[in-house]
Amino acid sequence: MCSPAAMFMLSAAQTGASLMAQRSAARAQEQRQEQLTELSRRKQLLRLTSTAAEERRATIQDVFDTEKAQKIAQRNIGEIRAQAASRGVTGTAVALSIDEANRDYLEYRAAKDMGAKFREEGRMLGGMSDALYSQAEMRNINKEIAQPNYVAGMLDLGGAYSTYKKNQADLDQYGDNADLVDHA
């Protein structure tokens, strides 16, 4: 049997090693959480940048398409007037043809505007979805880190010290027969 002092020292070393391992594991987890958090932030920034670029592209395309449609409408109206003038036609028939060309352009424009509104709603919903996803991802990444339990370590040492004192008192009182003593 080991001496009470050796048993106490072994228990103290075991408690110290356990606390150091817990502290090391907590630091490693904290570093990993920092890395994952930074990675998540970069992914979110990339998604936002990509969405903004797509939004700019769609807006430019809408402006281009609308200007093109307006030019086509103006050309059509010009052709209607030119044909009417060359044939000597005036009045209601010409006005109706011009109104029809204008209506076609306005309908096209309304459809483009509606499409833009739908895209904007889609981007808003996508942004909300991305935000919720990022929030959930951050919650999953940044869970509470278990810290070393110094109180439990001190209680373990206190228990080991108490056992040491009891065993030392038994050894002092009974000598070599101390391990035969039953305290129950």
Residues with Cβ within 8 Å of residue 81, at least 6 apart in sequence = 94, 98
Contact 15, 157 (CB under 8 A): yes
Distance CA 95, CA 183 (A): 116
Number of domains in the chain: 1
* For residue 180, pLDDT beyond 70: no
Tell me the residue range of the domain where 157 lies.
4-180
Comparison of pLDDT for 119 and 174, the residue scoring more = 119
Dihedral Cα 150, 155, 160, 166, nearest 10 deg = 160
- Cα 109 → chain centroid: 38
pTM: 0.56
Question: Using an 8 Å Cβ cutoff, are 47 and 123 in contact?
Answer: no
Give residue-wise pLDDT tens across range 69-125: 999 999 999 999 999 889 888 888 889 999 999 999 999 999 999 999 999 999 889
Cα dihedral 168, 169, 174, 178, rounded to 10, equals -50
